[in-house]
Amino acid sequence: MEQTKRQPRKLGWRFALLALVLAVAISGVVRSLWLDVYFIPSASMEPLLRSGDRILVSRTDFRAQPLRRGDVVVFDGRGSFAPLNSGKGPVVDFVSEAGRWLGLTGSDTTYVKRVIGLPGDHVVCCDAGGRLTVNGQQLAEPYLYAGDAPSELAFSAIVPAGRLWLMGDHRSMSADSRSLLGAPGGGMVPLERVIGRPVQIIWPLDRFAAVARPDQAAITTTTTNGQ
């Protein structure tokens, strides 16, 4: 009878361990193929994303719908942004906090920024009206942080094939493609380094909301002269 009483407890312990292992394995597969959760540690993407937000990132959405100007992307900054090390824009993988005891680690070379220039685009700051222009067209930029100028740094950059020009929405707090002009790669991020597109803010609960893609007509305005 003593043997019979101990057996259920032993089986229960084994079942719990097996369930934990399966949960970790399933989570790993989902994170590697479809969805991932990231933590925002800085103010560089305010007002859309705030410091402390947790965001759900789709690894497949941007493949089904090609990237376009104005999209927000999470990307691996090695070879382009990683030399910044400024604290003004890295995204720390949520697993680096919550899953460290499971042997899972995040990356300090992962960033979140907005696509301003696509391959072949000529991005300039700023025109006589104080706005960014892309291929001679002003960007209205409704997502820009209130009170920020489009850029305090003047620049003119042609985006090479297969790369992106990326900037934060809180320009005065963002280290981005502007910060690496003249460096190898010129701050242009290879398309293959894009991890995914944020689709949902999941924490804190009072900020639970979808991350919408901007209307292209709303961000592109008039053609300017002299570009």
Which residues are catalytically annotated? Answer: 44, 113
What are the C-alpha distances in Å from 190 to residues 3, 160, 193? 62, 9, 5
159, amino acid identity: V
Residue 117: its H or E element: strand 110-117
Which sign, positive or negative, has the C-alpha torsion 81, 207, 215, 151?
negative
111 forms beta bridges with: 75, 90
Residues 37 and 56 sit within 8 Å (Cβ to Cβ): yes
In sequence order, what DSSP letters do the residues of 16-44 get, joined into one string? HHHHHHHHHHHHHHHHHHTEEEEE--SST
Residue 196: its H or E element: strand 194-203
48, amino acid identity: L
SS3 103: coil
